[in-house]
Amino acid sequence: GQQLNQSPQSMFIQEGEDVSMNCTSSSIFNTWLWYKQDPGEGPVLLIALYKAGELTSNGRLTAQFGITRKDSFLNISASIPSDVGIYFCAGLSGRGKSTFGDGTTLTVKP
């Protein structure tokens, strides 16, 4: 089946630093979605990307849909303590069929 490689697996950063994580795949996806999950909760949608090359921002978050449609990155600028959590990328291949990355665990030190 399809697989997504998400990196890094974990990050420990200082408050105020920028963060970058990415997902790559051997398969093409129609849609890339980025989610944040807090412990014991379901994933919350952060950004949705629909076109190759598309760059989209949501506050301090910026994500891009790779030009080859096989990769995507998420940047978080000026991190704050509440950014702590697990970030997942998901590739959709039609009618909601999703493949998830393994997640990036972000720790922000005040």
Partner 1 sequence: GAVVSQHPSRVICKSGTSVKIECRSLDFQATTMFWYRQFPKQSLMLMATSNEGSKATYEQGVEKDKFLINHASLTLSTLTVTSAHPEDSSFYICSALPMRVTEVNEKLFFGSGTQLSVL
Decide if residue 40 touches partner 1 (CB under 8 A).
yes
Residue 78: count of CB within 10 angstroms of its CB: 11
Piece of the chain touching partner 1 by CB under 8 A; list 18-26, 48-56, 67-75, 77-85 = 48-56
**Nearer to partner 1 by C-beta: 35 or 73?**
35
| Owner of token pair 């998830």 | 100
Q: How far apart are CA 83 and CA 80, in angstroms?
A: 6
Q: How far apart are CA 11 and CA 19, in angstroms?
A: 8
Contact residues for partner 1, defined by CB under 8 A: 30-31, 33, 35, 40-45, 48, 50-51, 88, 90, 92, 94-98, 100-103, 105
